[in-house]
Amino acid sequence: MGSAADKPFHHGNLRAVLLDRAHEVIRSGGVDALSLRELARDAGVSHAAPRRHFRDRHALVNALAERGFELMTRRMSDAATAHPDHRDRFRALAEVFVDFAATEPALLDLMFTKTVDPPPSLTEAVRRFYEVSRRVVLDGHEAGVRPLADPERTQMLLIATLQGIATLVGTGRITSEEAGVLIDDTTTLFVGPADDR
């Protein structure tokens, strides 16, 4: 994959070029490696040019987090709608979450780091992300697959569980194969054994 400097841009898409390059930077060096000045240099523009799109580094980090939530939400939605069976849908959603952690550990970490005064667009991206898992939990509850006293709390417990597995994968504490076993266990805990369908 070439750097942003290899990609020509015209007036109107500098923001996308900067975000693409910032994404590459955190993949290789983590969030601490982000610098608006370096991104400008890579894009071949003046050091002041990025500030037309990101007033500071904090705004750039928020935009990257928003991109991460949008990407994960799209993948989770696609996985959920591809499976009519609730148990399969639940497991597919969990797999997407954990796979995202394996391929985008720095971006996932950035997404779940508390931000001060998030912009409305980031808040909305987070809401859409949580809505996907909420819908899968509620679908199972409404179908009687696993009646729940509090579906909303169960959804948060699910995200916390997947986040934990994702962190173990992202930090190399467990292998992808071990993560698959934990996803199976998570599915059984939240949905019930396969023969209970």
Same domain, 73 and 120: yes
Tell me the pLDDT tens digit for each residue of 53-77: 888 889 999 999 999 999 999 999 9
- Which CATH number does the domain housing residue 17 bear? 1.10.10
16, pLDDT greater than 70: yes
3, pLDDT greater than 70: no
pLDDT band at residue 47 under the 50/70/90 scheme: confident
- Which CATH number does the domain housing residue 87 bear? 1.10.357.10
- Can you give the C-alpha Rg of the chain in angstroms? 19
Same domain, 30 and 75: no
What would the mean pLDDT of 105-110 be, rounded to a whole number?
89
Is 158:187 a contact under the CB 8 Å cutoff?
Answer: no
What's the rounded Cα separation, in Å, for the pair 66 and 70?
A: 6
- Taking Cα atoms as reference points, which of 117, 119, 76 lies closest to residue 100? 76
What would the mean pLDDT of 7-11 be, rounded to a whole number?
48
Same domain, 170 and 75: yes
Residue 116 gets the label, from left (phi > 0), alpha (psi -120 to 50) or beta, of: beta
Tell me the pLDDT tens digit for each residue of 129-187: 999 988 888 887 777 766 666 778 888 898 999 989 988 988 889 998 999 999 999 99
Same domain, 80 and 47: no
pLDDT in the model for residue 126? 94
Same domain, 83 and 48: no
- Taking Cα atoms as reference points, which of 119, 133, 43 lies closest to residue 79? 133
Long-range contacts of 33-36 (CB under 8 A, 24+ apart): 34/60, 34/61, 36/60
Same domain, 83 and 179: yes
Q: Which domain holds residue 38?
A: 4-52
25, pLDDT greater than 90: yes
What's the rounded Cα separation, in Å, for the pair 94 and 165?
A: 10
pLDDT in the model for residue 76? 93
134 Cβ partners below 8 Å, 6+ apart? Answer: 151, 152, 155
Higher pLDDT, 44 or 16: 16
Residue percentage of the chain with pLDDT more than 90? 38
What's the rounded Cα separation, in Å, for the pair 97 and 92?
A: 9
Is this model's pTM higher than 0.95 or not? no
What's the rounded Cα separation, in Å, for the pair 43 and 47?
A: 10
For tokens 């809401």, the residue is: 127
